[in-house]
Structure 1
Amino acid sequence: MPQPSSDLIIMTTKDTSGKLYVREQTGYYQRLRRSLSWLLMAAFVGIPWLQYQGRQAFRIDTDRFAIEVLGRLILPQDFAILALLFALAAFVLFYVTKFYGRVWCGYTCPQTIWTLMFIWIERRIEGPPAKSRALDATSWRSGHKLLLRAAKHGSWALVALLSALTFVSYFVPARSLYPDFFAGQLSGAVWFWLSLFSLCTYLNAGLVREKVCQHMCPYARFQSSMFDKFTRQVSYNAARGEARGARKKHEVVKGLGDCVDCKLCVQVCPVGIDIRNGLQYECINCGLCIDACDDTMRQFNYPTQLIAYAGDSDTTAASGLPYHLAYGSAIAAVLVAMALWLTQLSSTDMSISRDRQQLYRFSAQGDIENTFVLRLSNKTSSVRSYQLQTAGLPEQAVLLLSSALQLQPMEDKEFIVTITLPECESPAQQDFQLLLTDGQSAEVLKKHSRFFAEACSSSGN
């Protein structure tokens, strides 16, 4: 995926139609964002290519509604771990938002990363904002305009397609997805999802852009309820900056603050707000206006940080301790619950159900038979062989299997289990257990069931 090689910050101007025109400028917070973007993009692209014991290390299996992770299969009945993961992510997000505002949106949100990527492509093809504005005013009859726009939108479409391929490779094995794609041998369902994800990426990052943050993202709506005096938000120091006014470099003008009213803080904002008007829900706390303002302050030989991450000046580190303890305890509790869940995770999933046709039947020898359907899932990347026995039934009980209990890696399979007892050897109903073991671990799986028989008459006893 293309990314700018320089440490750039985003500077924008807006025409009467509301379109943002972007120019580039170096800055500390853009370098930080660029580093995080590279890290997250590398993880996003690289994870589907990781292999573990000959299989994709992480893959979502939609056929079985399961997730493969490092040779282990997480089935729907194991999805409590996903609930814990979402709870952990929520607590961490709320914790960070409580003290640092919407830094997730400004630095690590996929919408922000992909939008900046598309903007970088736009600048490489169309040139500076002034040229983009002039190009917009040019007639569509111009071959130059058609060529540049075709190159831009074609590049966007290519990046969107590569993004969709990467996303789909979390569901379809990557090492077969790409060869099948270039050979044109993908199924109709895979083509549909590739097309849908490509279109969504192209629209969101290329055309809609900041409107997603302003009007579509629910996080933008409820995040302000988490803010209080402890939250460090991108803020304008009005006491120092007002009254604002234009001036020449190194010129001293009485009655004016440090703000030279260059409006770069407005132009730099990816969502087009003026941070000098105070906190606004559209602000994604990206810090780009800080970079622009600091650059201007240095040019005028003024102190930097006229716009900065700031909270209530009267608060102290100790005053925020209860919040740290509350969020820290919640995060720790979720981590402990995840650790306990992992210690109880079984390598095999086992379920048993009765034959729905009849409770019991008589064999040719006159014995009573109960039939069950045993479903086993091997959640490991190795072949497993199992042994099955009963507990709680008379010694005369005989257990018969439709086939040997052996499963290939990640295989699900059903087996017919028949339990036979001589007539009148057990009560009309008898609770028992099925015990499943394998030769590779000391794990014993137990399932409770009930054996039904015909009640014996007194003469039969």
Structure 2
Amino acid sequence: MQQDSQHNDEYTIQVQDKAPVDLAKPVKIHPPKGGKGANQYPPNDRIYVREVKGRVETMRRLLGFALMALFLMLPWLTYQGEQAILLNIFEQRFRIFGLTLWPQDLTILAWLFMVAAFALFLVTTLWGRVWCGFTCPQTTWTFIFMWFERKIEGSRHQRMKLDQRPMDADKFIRKTLKHLAWLLVALFTALTFVGYFTDIRALFSEFFVLQSSAWAVGFVLFFTFATYGNAGWMREIMCTHICPYARFQSAMFDKDTFIVAYDEKRGEPRGPRGRKVEPSKLGLGDCIDCNLCVQVCPTGIDIRNGLQYECINCGACIDACDNVMEKMGYPKKLISFTTERRLQGGETKVWRLKSVGYGLALLALGALLVLDVVFRVPLELDVVRDRNTLYRENQQGFIENVYQLRIMNKSQQAQVYSIHATGIEDLEYIGPAQVEVAGGEVHIVPITVAIDPYFLSASLVEINFTVTAESDSRVSRQTQSNFISR
């Protein structure tokens, strides 16, 4: 401690001998001034984010545009004459192009969710919170809402001035147009999202003529106001206080994880200076303390304070700082995507025990998902006995049992199935030998099995029912049931 104190004293004296330096001042967030009765503690959603341009911002916009286009386009695609992606919860049937998933296919969804989770873990271990900054729907919609805000209310400085002045006609019109634009975007988003779960063409045609069902209208309105509230008002509160990923992602970080970081050794001590002044002569680092990195941050943090869980790795501060460095004639990447180990002068290890473990787990789960889909039989068979009559004797003296075969065609094409009953010698099958079942439908077939009592060795014996597709003998299911004689 004494050595540190002595070192700090020497450092202070050295700086003071060269030139007086204005040390870094606390970052100021400029909320609008409230009138009488306004909140004493300005909410975080009044952060005024400055627009920034640069290579990272361009990449983020292009990726966001591609993902948004994919989100808007997918429910409108058709496959074999039907909506390509339809997650029908009421009918308990998910149709994804040529694949139809039923509750019996829950393992496929479980593998899919686990693959997505471990992919997120691997990406986080390697590149930090790039999901949050570049692909998260909350971030994408927030930046869309901020774009409308800038176009209608003006730049950061103009928005601050607009909120500070009393209500007048111009302010009322701008605020009304902004919120109207937000609501329209949120409504279109909600309609598209609900369109993944119902016929999207019918939804759009019926919604605006007030012919939609109460369920459809309720969900559309719910997601409209949820999007409007999340992207328009809550914004970074979702990322810093509500989203669980912001809380547990730090457990996946280490010194080799790529993060948005400030090079303190190069930038400190920070302070203002002229463009033509050599910073070394003033005892300063490259940071001119312009606070632009704070003004462009959507969560309102100062990246110069070190790694913080509020940082979503959007890279806006990188572009802002690079633009300043370019104007000052300094090298770029004072703020950059880097690792803690690299900042300390070491070599980053991309593949280490943690990332290799997540990678192997991801490969294993992906293989299980592929195997489950490849070896999935698109046919399901359930047999239900008639509960009203356990057995009966017909005119020939044969014992009869009545069953219902529930044949589920899990493909999207109509199939013809043959039905066979086996397991007891000389049984008589009474019912259709073949049935045609439409794609993605369930067909119930009532049948009767009659057996001569001479061939029954016990009062309760097992009987097998087999259903096989005529087009492909590999698509076959066999189910056992009981035959009761007394």
Aligned partner of 1:24 in structure 2 is 51
The answer on whether the counterparts of 1:403 and 1:415 sit within 8 Å (CA) in structure 2 is: no
Q: Using the TM superposition, give the Cα deviation of residue 335 of structure 1 relative to its aligned residue in structure 2, in angstroms.
A: 1.7
Aligned partner of 1:405 in structure 2 is 435
The answer on whether the counterparts of 1:229 and 1:315 sit within 8 Å (CA) in structure 2 is: no
State how 1:135-284 maps to structure 2 within 5 Å: 135-140=162-167, 142-252=168-278, 253-284=281-312
Q: Deviations over 1:173-217 (max 9, x none)?
A: 122221112322100110000000001000000111111111111
Aligned partner of 2:31 in structure 1 is 15
- For 1:331 and 1:231, how far apart are their aligned partners in 2? 18
Letter in 2 for 1:289: C
Structure 1 residue 353 corresponds to structure 2 residue 380: no
Letter in 2 for 1:356: R
SS at match of 1:79: helix
Structure 1 residue 33 corresponds to structure 2 residue 60: yes
The answer on whether the counterparts of 2:418 and 2:433 sit within 8 Å (CA) in structure 1 is: no
Q: Which stretch of structure 1 is more off in the superposition, 186-195 or 373-382?
A: 373-382
- For 2:323 and 2:196, how far apart are their aligned partners in 1? 42
SS at match of 1:359: coil
Q: Using the TM superposition, give the Cα deviation of residue 45 of structure 1 relative to its aligned residue in structure 2, in angstroms.
A: 0.6
Correspondence for 1:437 among 446, 457, 468: 468
Structure 1 residue 90 corresponds to structure 2 residue 117: yes
Aligned partner of 2:409 in structure 1 is 378
Q: Using the TM superposition, give the Cα deviation of residue 361 of structure 1 relative to its aligned residue in structure 2, in angstroms.
A: 2.5
Q: Using the TM superposition, give the Cα deviation of residue 391 of structure 1 relative to its aligned residue in structure 2, in angstroms.
A: 2.0
Q: Using the TM superposition, give the Cα deviation of residue 255 of structure 1 relative to its aligned residue in structure 2, in angstroms.
A: 1.2
Aligned partner of 1:8 in structure 2 is none
Aligned partner of 1:459 in structure 2 is none
Q: Deviations over 1:374-427 (max 9, x none)?
A: 1112222322221110121112x1222379622222211222222111223212
Q: Deviations over 1:29-70 (max 9, x none)?
A: 111101111110111011111111100111101122121122
SS at match of 2:304: helix
Aligned partner of 1:54 in structure 2 is 81
Distance 1:319 1:108, change over 3 A: closer
Q: Which stretch of structure 1 is more off in the superposition, 333-342 or 110-119?
A: 333-342
Q: Using the TM superposition, give the Cα deviation of residue 172 of structure 1 relative to its aligned residue in structure 2, in angstroms.
A: 1.0
State how 1:287-436 maps to structure 2 within 5 Å: 287-311=315-339, 312-313=341-342, 316=347, 320-395=351-426, 397-401=427-431, 405-427=435-457, 428-436=459-467
Q: Deviations over 1:1-28 (max 9, x none)?
A: xxxxxxxxxxx96326341113322111
Letter in 1 for 2:223: F
Aligned partner of 2:150 in structure 1 is 123
- For 2:399 and 2:472, how far apart are their aligned partners in 1? 34
SS at match of 1:293: helix
SS at match of 2:94: strand
Distance 1:402 1:378, change over 3 A: same
- Structure 2's unaligned 5+ residue stretches are 1-27, 33-41
- For 2:356 and 2:247, how far apart are their aligned partners in 1? 26
Distance 1:379 1:59, change over 3 A: same
Letter in 2 for 1:111: Q
The answer on whether the counterparts of 1:236 and 1:306 sit within 8 Å (CA) in structure 2 is: yes
Q: What percent of counterpart residues are identical?
A: 40
C-alpha root-mean-square deviation of aligned residues, in Å? 1.8
- For 1:418 and 1:36, how far apart are their aligned partners in 2? 60
Q: Which stretch of structure 1 is more off in the superposition, 126-135 or 230-239?
A: 126-135
Q: Using the TM superposition, give the Cα deviation of residue 363 of structure 1 relative to its aligned residue in structure 2, in angstroms.
A: 2.9
Letter in 2 for 1:303: P
Q: Which stretch of structure 1 is more off in the superposition, 386-395 or 104-113?
A: 386-395
- For 1:56 and 1:120, how far apart are their aligned partners in 2? 32
- For 1:180 and 1:289, how far apart are their aligned partners in 2? 45
Letter in 1 for 2:268: E
Letter in 1 for 2:310: E
The answer on whether the counterparts of 1:367 and 1:422 sit within 8 Å (CA) in structure 2 is: yes
Aligned residues: 441
Letter in 1 for 2:429: L
- For 2:213 and 2:200, how far apart are their aligned partners in 1? 15
SS at match of 2:298: coil
- For 1:213 and 1:145, how far apart are their aligned partners in 2? 29
Q: Which stretch of structure 1 is more off in the superposition, 405-414 or 110-119?
A: 405-414
Correspondence for 2:481 among 434, 444, 449: 449
Q: Which stretch of structure 1 is more off in the superposition, 307-316 or 26-35?
A: 307-316
- For 2:350 and 2:49, how far apart are their aligned partners in 1? 41
The answer on whether the counterparts of 2:250 and 2:309 sit within 8 Å (CA) in structure 1 is: yes
Q: Deviations over 1:132-174 (max 9, x none)?
A: 222212333x222221111111110000000001001101112
Q: TM-score, normalised by structure 1?
A: 0.92
